[in-house]
Each structure stands twice: as structure tokens, then as C-alpha cells.
Amino acid sequence: METVSIAACETYHYEEVEKAVYACLHCFSELRTRMKSGSKVLVKINLLKRNAPEDAVTTHPAVVEAVVRYLQAAGCQVIIGDSPGGPFTVGRLKSIYKTSGMLEVAERTGCELNYDTAAVAVINDKAQRLKNMQIIKVAQDVDFIVSVAKLKTHGMMVYTGAVKNLFGVIPGLIKAEYHFKMKSAENFAQHLIDICEYCKPVFSVIDGIEGMEGDGPSAGQKRQAGLILAAENPYALDTAVAEIIGIKPHTIPTIKAAADRGLFSGEVRDLQVQGLQLTDIHILPFKLPGSLHENLLAGVLPGFIADFVENTLRARPLFNYELCVSCGDCQRACPAGIITMNSGKPVADLDKCISCFCCHELCPKKAIDIKKHWLHRVVFK
Ligand code: SF4
Ligand code: SF4
């Protein structure tokens, strides 16, 4: 059994958020003893790109502040950090910290914001796939990592929460290289588990007050869930969230991969829930990203049919040139290197597209839609 703790929290008013975060974390009585005074802790938040808190793309500053204050009360020296999508530069970090509200969190709490953009090569002995990896230096410099994620759907991985959040320890554009090597969601999930096991977050918190459904993690719709959730086991935490938002946990590749490795079964019956009980939470299922129907179908189909589904029905990005401002972020983010800028507008060689949707994720203008194969309309109408 793994403990997950859940608290209701309907707004981002700081007092309410702090009460919910503290209530969740108090369930894990040994946390404070492990967080020895003076420990350096990286609070790894989700800062996908430059978005304001109300966009529901990044971890909300009120949740981050509550976690920071909890750690500071235990005597920890706290650093907030992430490597957002795109280039990992000081200028980009400054701009994202300001827009996302993290600058104000640092000013109010006195914690540090990470501006060190160095990467270090590490050996991940226990990894099954990613034995040699590059990570942001700050993740190596600290004593502990805490994952503070945002509840969102994800075009490639179905859902992004505690485990997927840790992909942000991979520096800037190296993420695109890893994406390209990992291509399928199942393979990517195995690598995400390797990264999560290396980081070994002491605990994870999910900001589920306002989440995102549909074409997450950045171009979906905001969705109120009114919850803060926490756990020591990130796989158990993601399992609880999946159940709450109406996704069968084992259809989420990271939960399945973790179950295959014996890290958590992915079964709701193996959760010990503290605080608000799952049966007390009534949330209509989150809408899934448009790109996902074939992945879910492929998971239950064997052999050549699954290959057909994978290769033929796979969704592709579709550029909306009326919204495009020619920033080139999609080109820089594309792991396959198949986007070129033609007279200031992006054009992709879609035959080589791996449907990772990094371009869609990082477009600042929601100018990239997910184009489904016409059979979608027949099969999934
Ligand atoms: S599609 Fe989006 S990311 Fe790509 S160039 Fe246009 S605005 Fe920028
Ligand atoms: S075009 Fe977009 S979806 Fe296709 S490989 Fe490039 S980033 Fe991924």
C-alpha cells in the first residue's frame, strides 16, 4: 500500500492553498525528520513556457509558495527551478520566472531561483534505458528534489503529473534529442521512469486546483478540479490523479511502465488515501487530447493492426498561419528537425513527424492544431 493524501482547495487564495498543502504533507510524518535543517532542496516545478498563472500551464505560484514555506519551516535552503521547453538560457528563465509569478514567490519567501544553466553528465546505474544522461546542474547540486507538478492532459503521454514533471531536469534542447531517440510513448515512459528513479523526489505535490483537459499540456482548456494532492511515491500519486480525472491508470504509459518495474501496481486498491477520499470526489472525466485515441486503441490491439493504427491514424501538427507570429519556437523545439521556416512561416515534413507535439506544446500563440486522420471521425465520432 502507498499513501496518497488529498485536500479540497477551490481557489488560489494563499491561505487556503497553504492550509491544503500543509494538510497533505502532515500525513507524511517522517518527512520533516528526513529534511534535515540546512538541506538544500530543489523544488522542481512545471514551467513549460512563458505563461501567466491563470493559463493553467505552469504550477501555480501559490502552491509553489506553500511548498517552499513548508520546507523552509523545516530549516531547508530552497531553490526553485526547471528547465522549460526551448533553449535553457538565463534570459529565458528570467522572463518565465517573471510571467509565471515565481519571481514574486522568491521575493516573498527569500528562496532562490535557479539561474545556473549548466548541464552535467551523470551515470544512472539503475536505469533500464537511460544509463548516461545530461541533467541540469542544480539537480545534482542539491540534497533532495521535490516535484511540484500541474495536473494536465498530455498529447503524447496522456497525462502529465508527478513523474512526467521530472523530464524538466533534462536541460533545454537536449530534451528534444531525447524525445527523438525515444519516439514511442512506451519507450519515452521507460526513460521517464529512469529519470524519476534517478531524481528520487522525497515527495511530490500536484496542483490540481485548476488543471488542463483536452489538448494539454499547453493548448487545452482550463478545468477546475479543486484539489491538492501529495505522496511520497510519485507513481501512486499519478495513479490517484488518473482515477480522479477518469483515465484508466494503466492506459497512462508511465504508470504502466512503473507497474512493470514493480514500483507501484497502478491499482487503486493499493492506495491508502488520507484526507478527502476518492469516493468523495465527483469530477466528470477530463477530455483527452485529440492525438490520443489511436494510442489508447493501439494498446488493446495486437500485431499488424496496432502497427496500422500507429502509423496511419497518427495525428500530426497543423499550422495555423493566421495565428502564427513567426517566432520559430516550433522549429527549435522539433526533435526530428523537420520544421523549416519558409518566408517566416513554419513548414514540416510530416512524413518524418514522430507526433511528439513538442511544437504544439511550445507554440506561444496556440497556432498549431492537432490534425487527426479522417478515420478518426468515423471510428471515434
Ligand atoms: S507556429 Fe507557433 S511556434 Fe511556430 S513560428 Fe508560428 S507562432 Fe512560433
Ligand atoms: S513536427 Fe511537431 S509533432 Fe512532428 S516531430 Fe516535430 S515537434 Fe514533433
Domain range annotation of the chain: 2-280, 293-379
For ligand 1, mutation pick of 363, 366, 370, 371 (most atoms within 8 Å of CB): 363
CATH number for the domain running over 2-280? 3.40.50.11440
Strand pairing category for 40-45 and 77-81: parallel
Q: Give the nearest ligand 1 atom to 325 CA.
A: 7
Residue in 248, 253, 235, 255 with CA at minimum distance from that of residue 188: 253
The fold of 293-379 is Alpha-Beta Plaits (3.30.70)
pTM: 0.89
Q: Give the Å distance between the CA of 79 and the centre of ligand 1.
A: 32
All three cell numbers of 337, joined, read 528537425
Distance CA 87, CA 106 (A): 23
Distance CA 152, CA 168 (A): 15
Q: Give the Å distance between the CA of 321 and the centre of ligand 1.
A: 8
Q: Is 244 in contact with 278 (CB distance < 8 Å)? A: yes
pLDDT in tens, 217-249: 988 999 999 999 999 999 999 999 999 999 999
Q: Is the pLDDT of residue 381 over 60?
A: no
pLDDT in tens, 155-210: 889 999 999 999 999 998 888 888 887 778 899 999 999 999 999 999 999 999 99
Q: Give the Å distance between the CA of 355 and the centre of ligand 2.
A: 5
